[in-house]
Structure 1
């Protein structure tokens, strides 16, 4: 069967002026993953890792290099991957100094399969802060220490730090909307699925803050339910809201049980996110989902998305395809945070 990769550069606000950059990085990520997926030996988890690595390397995204800065002017990244075949999960939180946190998360996931620790110790599935950095230095050969502060993120930091100091409200600009997370979902030629997510977190966050990209069931989910049914999900938006609602797992569950993918996803976002009792004191609930639903028995696969943010940019491509597709879904202003 054909393999397919889908990526997103976040649910947030994407200005028209930057659409060419978003389009370029989405297509580049898809092209890289599909080139790997043409080989039947390439796994879905390796493909999503490669795709998100491309997204992290571009300063236009809020992941890896160019991520939002903390209130102290540093970069701390969250990332996770999930293998739908083994159901193993790997994540890092508040990781500093590594341009590709997704690769560290991937290796954490892989180490769980090896499980070669002595004295019955269990390999970790989530590492944070200094411990994550030390583990990455010891276990991930390609993860070199780097300065992840881009010129644009530094400008934004200075701009909004001054606004906070003057007690001014942030204006509705493209920079203010750079709250999004990037991610990918994939179906490989063997019918296996995987998902991934990576984020620099919210601008001027407190050091040590962890968003949904590092939390099990919140940032990504991938699962093969039987020999013919599989789902992969990657989320984006307000991390605290996504954590409280465990949105990635909720959406995967709804898609697996539903008869039709699009209505099932929309209903899930409305019931378990916008109308969630866990967010009853929240006015605007900002979130988005990119999902892949596979029926391997009939060689069918749907790529779908939904969001309550102003916009969500995505790209997708299948093996044998000539070019990746790109789109930017937008929501009317009156519906932002209140509808999908």
Structure 2
């Protein structure tokens, strides 16, 4: 959809909004409709959009909004209009104030029940139950075996869980409450045996003069929900009237249908995207010699054989995380945006990285005296609190823009290889940050960056999660180039990317 907007002459910010609205309306993403619920069952969403000048509009912890990215775009547009008495218009609003701003400007709002999908409700009920059991196990032994009076008490006939199930289940539940890319927990042996726990979502779009381009990325979740072997008596949340309807994949999005089952549509090592080829991509996987090239053809060997990745024979990958987009329009203006429902069981009013400029989304504008006209946009998802500690998206964008990495003693070291910068950012600026290392919660992150120059556009990604789903599309591409990037065995970080040349 973002590509269609760009080809029709829309601005980069409009393309970002259009791309993310499609994903927000899908209940399989943790954004807009179907988002994770807070501890009291309320849907509160975050979103940010940043234009080519670095101006931004953001909303956070806002209830009753189905498309938070549209509210963020509205805030951005209104922030550029002067107010009387020299008042300064806001570029970020949170909570009830953000909702009132939407109402005042004609944006539709919804009752909470109409934003809760069946899957989101099921996750909420399971998490409530799981948290109850976790708290019960942590109580002194004298209280064991006594009813707490909670509506979550389970029947005595509850079947015992195997130690392996309990361990994996607890880990997944815990991950779902600190990483926005882990909303579900394993529910049966099928998913216990599958060690793939993806975590990321993002999207990019890009275009130049007569060559608009678009791209999108989405982090995914492998664990599908299934019926529990017992029933619970928690009071159910209100049901949406439309949630029982069959929701077909949006054909314009080009995301969900590409991420189920096979890994055939992955990025391949570099083929030039010049006149001879309408599509190209470059990828650097851990353990692969730099500069290795391989044609991307339908008869090419499966990625699992090349990179040692598990090739799934059935649809285990479900898109269930924060979404993000980066676009470059016909004028060469770049924009970025992200949208999220936040982590599961969060406190009411919690601001996630998608609501914070420089944390989840950042743009480094082009300097007017720069002959190369370089500008960089970055979208990141993961453990939001750690991203805030490290100023993640702004730091990554500036690393790519200035061509530096963190060296010994904390000094910036010049680095010409952007691929090395991406890996160094996760390893040194994020994972090795003192605030992350000394925090009890793990640091998950997935990064997507676009570097715009006069000679071409460079799309880079990196992640320390077990998977990262992405798609990109250039003006000469007939269809999006999609990948489900996976963490190679024994690797801590996976990275890759592609280049789109300008004619």
TM-score (ref. length: structure 2): 0.57
Question: Larger helix proportion, structure 1 or 2?
Answer: 1
Q: What residue in structure 1 maps to residue 78 of structure 2?
A: 111
In structure 1, runs of 5+ residues without a counterpart are 1-31
Matches within 5 A, 1:65-104: 65-84=33-52, 86-104=53-71
On the 8 A contact 1:83/1:222 being kept in 2, the answer is yes
* Partner of residue 160, structure 1: 127
How far apart in 1 are the matches of 2:451 and 2:43? Answer: 34
Is 313-322 or 121-130 further displaced after alignment? Answer: 313-322
Structure 2 unaligned regions, length at least 5: 138-168, 174-181, 186-198, 200-220, 222-319, 404-415, 496-503
Q: Does 1:56 align with 2:56?
A: no
Task: Select the structure of larger CA radius of gyration.
Answer: 2
Q: Aligned-pair distance for 1:139?
A: 1.6
Higher relative contact order (CA 8 A, sep 6+): 1
2:110 aligns with 145
Separation of aligned partners in 2, 1:334 and 1:69: 34
Partner of 1:243: 388
1:22 alignment partner in structure 2:
none
- Verify the 8 A CA contact 2:462 2:494 in the aligned structure 1: no
1:325 to 469, 478, 481: 481
Q: Tell me, in whole angstroms, the C-alpha distance in 1 between the residues paired with 2:115 and 2:129.
A: 22
- Pairing partner for 1:268 from 414, 425, 438: 425
Pick the aligned partner of 2:351 from 206, 210, 216: 210
Displacement of 1:226 after TM fit?
A: 2.7
Matches of 2:109 and 2:478 in 1, distance apart?
34
Hey, what does 1:39 align to over in structure 2?
Answer: 8
In the TM superposition, 1:305-320 aligns within 5 A as: 305-320=461-476
Q: Secondary structure at the match of 1:290?
A: strand
Normalising by structure 1, report the TM-score.
0.84
Counterpart pick for 2:332 among 179, 183, 191 = 191
Q: Output the CA distance in 2 between the equivalents of 1:328 and 1:217.
A: 26
Q: 1:330 & 1:219 partners in 2: Cα distance?
A: 21
- Residue 313 of structure 1, CA deviation: 0.8
Shift of 1:171: 4.6
User: Shift in Å at residue 61 of structure 1?
Assistant: 0.7
Q: Distance in 2 between matches of 1:128 and 1:160?
A: 26
Shift of 1:280: 2.4
CA distance in 2, matches of 1:308, 1:180: 15
Matched, 1:256 2:401: yes
Q: Is the 8 A contact 1:77 1:94 kept in 2?
A: yes
Matched ranges for 1:163-182 at <5 A: 163-167=130-134, 170-172=170-172, 175-176=184-185, 180-182=321-323
Decide whether the 8 Å contact of 1:104 with 1:140 is kept in 2: no
Q: What residue is the counterpart of 1:221 in the other structure? A: 362
Task: Give the distance between the partners of 1:144 and 1:326, measured in 2 at CA.
Answer: 34
CA deviation after TM superposition for structure 1 residue 319, in Å: 2.2
Match in the other structure for 2:230 = none
SS in 2 for 1:95: strand
Q: Distance in 2 between matches of 1:123 and 1:77?
A: 22
Structure 2 CA distance for aligned equivalents of residues 317 and 277 of structure 1: 37
SS at match of 2:84: coil
Shift of 1:237: 0.5
Match of 2:311 in 1: none
Identify which of 459, 463, 486 aligns with 1:303: 459
Checking the alignment, whether the CA contact within 8 Å between 2:486 and 2:494 is kept in structure 1 is no
Please tell me whether the aligned partners of residues 488 and 494 of structure 2 are also in contact (alpha carbons under 8 angstroms): no
CA distance in 1, matches of 2:494, 2:388: 19
| Residue 333 (structure 1) shift | 6.5
Q: Distance in 2 between matches of 1:180 and 1:242?
A: 16
Superposed CA RMSD in Å reads 2.0
Q: Distance in 1 between matches of 2:466 and 2:445?
A: 10
| CA deviation after TM superposition for structure 1 residue 166, in Å | 1.2
Any idea what SS the aligned residue of 2:109 has? Answer: coil
In structure 2, C-alpha distance between the alignment counterparts of 1:47 and 1:223, rounded to whole Å = 19
SS in structure 2 of the partner of residue 170 of structure 1: helix
